[in-house]
A and B are shown apart, each in its own frame.
Chain A
Amino acid sequence: MRAPGLADHFADLPTQHHAARLGMWVFLASELLLFSGLFAIWGAYHARYTEAFVRAASVNTIVLGSTNTFVLIISSFVVALAVWAMRSDRPRLAFRGVVITASCGLGFLAIKGIEYADHIEHGLLPGAWFRSDELHGHGAVVFYTLYWFATGLHALHVTAGVAVLAWIAMRIRRGEIDAVNPIALELGAMYWHLVDIVWLFLWPLLYLVG
């Protein structure tokens, strides 16, 4: 009899899981290349407007942005623990870990929302909408245009990650993900870690060093 969840074209579950993990790494590599365009533009404009970028970053919401760094790092740790819990056949613990991770994601988005409201109030907006009293010049406009695109794209990924985690939590509840076949949880966790890694770079570039 074939194991539940084993596709026809795989000999056994370990082989199928290996293929799934490799496929996930290729997908995450393509996600990295999506973000790398923004990193390249940031690098080029930073070289062109170094001092303006440092000034622009110094008025950013550093406390909130740094708080979000710690929120994401802790959530990555919790979802890694959830994978461990599922592998060692503790589905209820894994379920709780996934729910906590998704909640951290919502917390991140809430803090990001507070930051965005603050930026709108201070006119730190992209392109033609930029109207700051503190910052002047083309460099500051470019910095906050990149800020909105980079953090906006990242926030979309956080939102997608929360949706994936919620779906995984539901499937754990229904017993569709278990110790024998935990791959869906593993792949969802990998996506969440990528979201964390991208932020680990956005944080110093957009808040700290400019």
Chain B
Amino acid sequence: MTDRTHVSPIGYLATLLALLALSVLTLALSSLALGAWALPVALLIASSKAILVALFFMHLVEQPAVNAFVAITAVALVAVLVGLTVADVVTRSASP
């Protein structure tokens, strides 16, 4: 491995600035009344931040693809668990 493949301090700084900007955006959006859109938008921004942290702070970008495969599998399983649990509740009929 050469230094060329490593994330540089500039890369970390750019990641930090993006994370701070997205957090400020989350705060700004939460003060608006987005109604039903508030949750999906907040989750989308949080996911973008998580991807930035995983790729650059956790160095996924410079590691073999198999490491990303583990992370993606975990996230997919979380999506299945959360998705089906919520789908169960929202699709129940009002009367038993």
Contact = CB atoms under 8 A, between A and B. Distances in A.
Interface in B48-96: 49-50, 53-54, 56-59, 63-64, 66-67, 70-71, 73-75, 77-78, 81-82, 85-86, 88-90
Given A204-B30, A208-B26, A81 B9 contact: yes
Given A197-B53, A201-B50, A18 B64 contact: yes
Interface in A57-91: 66, 69-70, 73-74, 76-77, 79-81, 83-84, 87-88
A163 interface: no
Main secondary structure of the interface of B (DSSP, over half): helix
Nearest to A85: B9
Interface in A28-83: 28-30, 32-33, 36-37, 39-41, 43-48, 66, 69-70, 73-74, 76-77, 79-81, 83
Interface residues of A, number: 49
Interface residues on B, range: 35 or more
Contacts of A33: 74, 77-78, 81
A84 B38 CA distance: 37
A200 interface: yes
A148 interface: no
B23 A70 contact: yes
B1 A14 contact: yes
B20 A208 contact: no
A29 B71 contact: yes
Interface of A: 14, 18, 21-22, 25-26, 28-30, 32-33, 36-37, 39-41, 43-48, 66, 69-70, 73-74, 76-77, 79-81, 83-84, 87-88, 186, 189-190, 193, 196-197, 200-201, 203-205, 208-209
8 contacts: A36-B82, A39-B78, A40-B82, A47-B89, A74-B16, A77-B15, A84-B12, A204-B43
